[in-house]
């Protein structure tokens, strides 16, 4: 064994820290808030290929220059101790062992590994020392210099990092400036970071990436005007450069989403092939609910960016939202061919498309394809509803009962779905029992208490209803619906009107434009004899939502105030669209038999 070189031993061992170390570096890069940029897909692919080729060439050159380190028994023993300890997660042994080897051998490979282990062990001082040993042993390594710079900047040592950055800039200025914001991810002194970036950029006045780096540093320091000015300079140096345009749009959006939309729209008129800007523009249109406009942009992108699952998915969902079922089905089916990140979500929405198209068997087949994730429970709930519609309520209950949630939230939602099926079938006692069993398993699940309260009202268990709703208020003090449900019940079913009005005022303060809460407030005022005030609240509620129960309440107030023709017209209008609503029918039979 002593005849082996250290190089062979390093190649023979499998080091497990590298992936996590890379993740740690990515975490550092992503920890800095602010503007994110991306390159067009083709450019990014070409750049990745070029970077990979350059890295391979540099690696081959570095390996040729590695020292021929003799493998003494002492070095081999320390190396194996460090490696085995690392494999077993004993970082308190692996980290100092690798540091000793790095100091002893001055080998760049050992120094690099010592830096990685130290980072994994969150030993910043050890990581910095090892990285500096790495640079000393391999002075031409850009990766080694970047590691030292990142560690220095993370500790706020800008003065020590600046000369190394200047050296890196001489090798590849555009790339370093584009990475500078990530390297400075944990610096708290944004003003000092901005000043250093300006100093570095001053040597590259004709480089748009330098102005971009200044803009990023200025934005992190809160100097938005300076950031926008730097981005304008970058655009002058490289007209139509998308990273600068994207960052400018994001800065504008922080103060005025409308201004950001105008900027992107005008940019796209001049540079219609700017796909990343168009994608950002389309997303922004969705965020401000300009659905039709967003659909136009995503449809164009779907043609210009073939085999892009994100784009076809967005276009498909917008088509579904606009009830263009054929386009939605085509785009979502196409998305499945492009290996989307969330296949379950695509199948769920294909199920929605089929349901709307009155194809229950097709919908059920898509819902059955949802195997995991956030759409598992909604998919099973829809499957169950389709089974009920097909006259198979027992199969629907069995489907939900045998579905296992991946976490507590999903398990609670499955219990709610089971109880909902039973309630819809007027099996209120069974629904009450299902929810009660769920509460025993999940005693802090506010949704189960709320649902049991609603079932309790059907069973006349007002004491349980009040207890459960007060429990919801404790668990979720800002839950407007809990205050509303309790206040309405007290107003409608008891003489505790003052208490009811207090609860409903609280609900209204939490959700002032909720039609159902306005309806409850109006009904409580009616029960208290305040007819004019009651009509005011109920008219506001009905203007927000033409719900039959709100119509029943508003009509009864009108009837009580002598406005019987108006009440009759309101009820007839509501009956045309809701001929079987129980509250509306009961009101009509009671007041106008």
Short-list 307, 270, 290, CA closest to 42 = 307
CATH of the domain at 532: 1.25.40.10
pLDDT tens track for 31-48 = 333 444 444 444 445 555
Kindly state whether residue 592 falls inside one of the protein's structural domains.
yes
Residue with tokens 């450019």: 43
Rounded Cα–Cα distance for residues 124 and 134 (Å): 15
For residue 371, is it within any domain? Answer: no
Print the domain residue range for 508. Answer: 500-593
Q: Judge contact between 298 and 280, C-beta under 8 A.
A: no
**Domain count of the fold of the chain:** 1
Residue 18 domain-assigned (yes or no): no
pLDDT at res. 296: 92
How big is the CA angle at 332 (ends 354 and 315), to the nearest 5 degrees?
115
Tell me which residues of the chain have a pLDDT lower than 50. 1-4, 6, 8-44
Residue 586 lies in a domain: yes
What local confidence, expressed as pLDDT, does residue 33 receive? Answer: 36
Distance of CA 558 to the CA centre of its chain: 47
The answer to whether residue 517 sits within a structural domain is: yes
Measured distance CA(190)–CA(33) in Å, rounded = 12
* pLDDT for res 11: 47
Residue 499 tokens read as: 């208490």
Q: What does the pLDDT read at residue 63?
A: 55
Task: Give the predicted TM-score (pTM) of the model.
Answer: 0.68
Specify the pLDDT at position 235. 93
In-domain check, residue 176: no
Whole-number pLDDT of residue 25 = 29
Do 316 and 349 form a contact (C-beta atoms < 8 A)? yes
510 in a domain, yes or no?
Answer: yes
3-state secondary structure of 89: coil
Residue at 591 is within a domain: yes
pLDDT of residue 220: 87
What pLDDT is stored for residue 540 in this prediction? 96
Q: Could you report the per-residue pLDDT of 487-540, keeping only the tens digit for each?
A: 999 999 999 999 999 999 999 999 999 999 999 999 999 999 999 999 999 999
What pLDDT was estimated at residue 23?
Answer: 26
CA dihedral 36→37→42→48, nearest 10 degrees, is -70
């Amino acid at each position: 064994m002593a005849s082996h070189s250290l190089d062979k031993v390093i190649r023979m061992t499998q080091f497990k820290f590298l992936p996590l170390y890379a993740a740690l570096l990515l975490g550092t890069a992503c920890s800095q808030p602010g503007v994110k940029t991306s390159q067009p897909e083709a450019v990014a692919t070409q750049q990745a290929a070029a970077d990979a080729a350059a890295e391979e060439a540099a690696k081959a050159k570095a390996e040729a220059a590695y020292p021929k380190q003799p493998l003494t028994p002492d070095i081999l023993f320390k190396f194996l101790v460090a490696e085995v300890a690392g494999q077993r997660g004993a970082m308190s042994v692996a980290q100092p062992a690798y540091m000793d080897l790095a100091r002893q051998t001055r080998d760049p490979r050992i120094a690099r590994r010592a830096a990685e282990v130290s980072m994994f062990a969150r030993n910043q001082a050890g990581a910095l020392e090892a990285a500096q040993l790495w640079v000393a042993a391999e002075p031409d390594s850009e990766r080694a210099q970047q590691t030292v710079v990142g560690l220095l900047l993370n500790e706020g040592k800008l003065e020590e990092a600046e000369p190394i950055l200047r050296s890196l800039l001489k090798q590849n200025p555009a790339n370093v400036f584009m990475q500078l914001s990530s390297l400075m991810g944990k610096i708290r002194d944004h003003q000092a970071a901005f000043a250093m970036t300006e100093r570095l950029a001053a040597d590259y006045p004709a480089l748009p990436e330098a102005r971009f780096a200044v803009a990023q540093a200025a934005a992190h320091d809160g100097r938005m005007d300076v950031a926008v000015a730097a981005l304008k300079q970058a655009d002058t140096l490289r007209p139509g450069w998308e990273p600068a345009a994207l960052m400018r749009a994001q800065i504008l959006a922080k103060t005025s989403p409308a201004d950001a939309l105008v900027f992107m729209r005008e940019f796209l008129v001049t540079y219609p092939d700017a796909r990343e800007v168009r994608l950002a523009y389309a997303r922004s249109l969705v965020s401000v609910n300009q659905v039709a406009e967003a659909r136009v942009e995503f449809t164009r992108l779907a043609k210009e960016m073939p085999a892009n699952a994100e784009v076809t998915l967005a276009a498909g969902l917008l088509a579904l939202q606009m009830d263009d079922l054929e386009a939605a089905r085509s785009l979502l089916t196409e998305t499945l061919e492009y290996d989307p990140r969330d296949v379950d979500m695509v199948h769920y929405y294909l199920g929605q498309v089929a349901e709307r198209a009155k194809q229950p068997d097709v919908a059920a087949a898509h819902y059955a394809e949802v195997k995991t994730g956030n759409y598992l429970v909604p998919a099973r709930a829809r499957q169950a509803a389709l089974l009920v519609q097909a006259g198979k309520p027992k199969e629907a209950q069995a489907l939900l009962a045998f579905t296992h949630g991946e976490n507590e939230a999903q398990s609670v939602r499955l219990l709610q779905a089971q109880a909902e099926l039973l309630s819809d079938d007027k099996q209120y006692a069974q629904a009450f029992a299902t929810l009660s069993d769920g509460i025993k398993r999940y005693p802090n699940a506010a949704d189960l208490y709320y649902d049991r309260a609603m079932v309790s009202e059907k069973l006349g268990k007002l004491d349980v209803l009040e207890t459960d709703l007060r429990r919801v208020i404790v668990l979720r003090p800002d839950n407007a619906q809990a205050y509303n449900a309790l206040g309405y019940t007290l107003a409608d079913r008891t003489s505790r009107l003052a208490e009811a009005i207090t609860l409903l005022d609280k609900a209204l303060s939490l959700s002032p434009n909720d039609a159902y809460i306005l309806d409850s407030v109006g009904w409580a005022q009616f029960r208290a004899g305040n007819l004019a005030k009651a009509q005011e609240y109920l008219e506001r509620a009905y203007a927000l939502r033409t719900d039959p129960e709100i119509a029943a309440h508003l009509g009864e107030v009108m009837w009580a105030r002598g406005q019987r023709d108006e009440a009759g017209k309101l009820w007839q209008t509501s009956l045309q669209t809701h001929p079987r609503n129980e509250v509306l029918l009961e009101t009509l039979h009671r007041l106008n038999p």
